[in-house]
Structure 1
């Protein structure tokens, strides 16, 4: 056989192995905001869930935790109360927190033998906080500086540079109209770190910022996957609005002791 034939055959073998590996692995990316409920699909489920196992890893080389074993929830896990198995064998997680991000695997066992490859789900959690509060709303005086932190907790762990590049992940801030905030805008100081999947927004609040919203978006391949809205309530504006009582209707009733009254 000629050298060209050997090279051609080798190329076909490599191509075949690559295609086979790609077709067998089922991977789903899920992006969700902290505090929401998540549903992780089991794309390799059989006719019932008695053969279904859900496994979890926080990092690539961390210990594997069994969440669901042959359709039965493991009550020994810290978050078992927030977990449930759907009728389609999906894994439901209530009130997602930053502790839930990571790598989930749905596996099928029949008669002690694994059936086919795992179905993998990468769960990424988006969270926004501020320098003055850990919630998504703050009351703060005009003229005061505030820094908002938007972080994507991902399976990539301490560094997500390569993952961001391969999946075209982007984090950015937008205003109430959905317009992207730019670094060139003198009002905002925006800093990002792809190494830690975090972007910060710093600004000085104005009187007209009462009830203003800023939203952090995460996109994958130019499609918005999740977002978190941060609302600012100026303490001065809140006080003045609460004083306004022009809508109140007051009636004065005068009556003698011992009489019947009707209000």
Structure 2
């Protein structure tokens, strides 16, 4: 087994980047199925099948041996064998990126390089502030991304350039690109990260950034409602105050008024 692993590693190192290699691109969370082309279509048993995983040129993991999933593999709970001994990986993550190779009997397949795109958002620690969207392409360690192969698009599918009005585009570093959004809009906006080779989009991912800034219309409504409520309270208060003062004044004037008792008549003297 060790000799086989060393042989496959030697072939992988020499063959990496050859025209026979297969490159596949997926987003985190996807399900991936990799075929073992060496297996005959009439084969019903996978007892002679082996799958190897290469994270880098110094690490080789046997993830499937004699048709059985290696339970010691960190990927074990996500692996399964399907039709014609194909390898299925569910809910992939950045840790699954790398090279895979099938070995059947005395025949081995070409390298399959699994590349995984992730897109996340974090509060920016950059002096300009804002929110940072980070787009990363996780690849086999020995592979490097071409400069500017990661691109950013706005909702209108226009490519964002350095120092745009609403964003600040941080240049790509290896296979990682940051988009620092310095001015959040008053509504949600969608941004897209693309991985491009020779003007061909290999994979893309979208991120909708929900603005935390209050909407201007909502602010106006709140202000108008507050002013209206305050006006009503003032009017009600003044009305109650005026009525209260009137009642108090009437009570004070009552003892001063002359009142004629019932059954009595006024006596008037006439002088001739």
Calculate the TM-score normalised by the size of structure 1.
Answer: 0.65
Aligned equivalent of 1:70: 66
The alignment partner of 1:99 has SS state of helix
Matched residues in 1 for 2:157 and 2:139: separation?
Answer: 25
Q: 1:152 aligns with which of 137, 141, 151?
A: 137
Residue 37 (structure 1) shift = 1.4
Contact 1:26–1:118 (CA under 8 A) maintained in structure 2: no
Sort the Cα spacing of 1:43 and 1:192 in 2 relative to 1 into closer, same or farther, 3 A: farther
Any stretches of 5+ residues in structure 1 without a counterpart? 1-20, 134-142, 244-263
Aligned equivalent of 2:156: 177
Q: Does 1:213 align with 2:209?
A: no
5 Å-filtered alignment, 1:92-241, equals 92-109=88-105, 114-115=106-107, 117-132=108-123, 145-157=130-142, 160=144, 164=146, 170-183=149-162, 185-194=164-173, 196-208=174-186, 210-235=187-212, 236-237=214-215
Aligned equivalent of 1:34: 28
Sort the Cα spacing of 1:228 and 1:25 in 2 relative to 1 into closer, same or farther, 3 A: closer
Sort the Cα spacing of 1:108 and 1:160 in 2 relative to 1 into closer, same or farther, 3 A: same
Residue 153 (structure 1) shift = 1.0
Matched residues in 2 for 1:43 and 1:219: separation?
Answer: 28
Residue 197 (structure 1) shift = 0.8
Aligned equivalent of 2:81: 85
Q: Count residues with an aligned counterpart.
A: 195
- Of structures 1 and 2, the one with the larger relative CO (CA 8 A, separation 6+) is 1
RMSD: 2.8
Contact 2:26–2:117 (CA under 8 A) maintained in structure 1: yes
The alignment partner of 1:122 has SS state of strand
Is the radius of gyration larger for structure 1 or structure 2? 2
The alignment partner of 2:161 has SS state of coil
Residue 220 (structure 1) shift = 2.9
Matched residues in 2 for 1:191 and 1:87: separation?
Answer: 44
More deviation, 72-81/219-228? 219-228
Matched residues in 1 for 2:192 and 2:201: separation?
Answer: 12
Structure with more strand by fraction: 1
Structure with more helix by fraction: 2
Residue 52 (structure 1) shift = 2.1
Matched residues in 2 for 1:25 and 1:160: separation?
Answer: 17
5 Å-filtered alignment, 1:5-20, equals none
Contact 2:30–2:92 (CA under 8 A) maintained in structure 1: yes
Matched residues in 1 for 2:165 and 2:79: separation?
Answer: 46
Sort the Cα spacing of 1:170 and 1:88 in 2 relative to 1 into closer, same or farther, 3 A: farther
